[in-house]
Amino acid sequence: MHATPALVLVASADAEGNCDVSPRGGPAGFVAVLDTRTVAIPDATGHKRLDTLQNVVATGRAGLLFVIPGRTTTLRVNGRACVSTRPELLSQLTAVGKPPASALVLGIEEVYPHCPKSLLRSGAWKPEQWLPADAQPTSAEVTLAQPRMPELTIADIEQAEADSLKYRYE
């Protein structure tokens, strides 16, 4: 049996209904199954935004969409959620090499596979259908287009992205 890395998209909303979707990824097993009705996702070092965690604290709800490379069926999981900093839980969540500062814990209320048609139509697993890298803006260009950050340059953003990746995975 091969261990496959996974990607889970975490959906949440704040108390006013403003939505957020944030990706979480890691090696196989990075999402811990605590029991038959509970999973925990470590909050690994990232871009230092707390939108998802703040939303979960505010509403106590989250939805998960698991995407596994090469598979076209996704798994949807919805339920009650909380943010935990309990050391005894965090010490179990070391799939990325060290315990996280916190974890999203989801009590499962609904779980079901999702139709594969969207992934099949998208060609997500077919590199020959992907756009060339220069046919779309870079993440630095997208960030620079945000009106709330006029003082930044492309070079500043690219350096911050490179530093973030370098120091996050060492």
80-92 tens-digit pLDDT: 999 999 999 999 9
Q: What is the pLDDT of residue 15?
A: 95
* Extents of the domains making up the chain: 6-121, 131-168
What is the C-alpha end-to-end distance of the chain, expressed in Å? 28
> 119: buried, middle or exposed (CB in 10 Å: 19+, 13-18, 0-12)?
middle
Strands across the sheet containing 103-114: 19-26, 6-13, 61-67, 74-84, 103-114, 38-42, 32-35
pTM of structure: 0.78
Q: What is the pLDDT of residue 39?
A: 95
Per-residue pLDDT 10s for the chain (170 aa) are 345 567 899 999 999 999 999 999 888 888 999 999 999 999 876 656 789 999 999 999 999 999 888 888 889 999 999 999 999 999 998 877 788 889 999 999 999 988 888 888 888 888 888 888 888 888 777 777 776 766 777 888 788 777 776 655 44
113-150 tens-digit pLDDT: 888 888 888 888 888 888 888 888 887 777 777 767 66
H runs (alpha helix) in the chain = 51-59, 87-90, 117-122, 139-144, 154-168
Q: What is the pLDDT of residue 4?
A: 56
What CATH number was assigned to the domain covering residues 6-121? 2.30.110.10
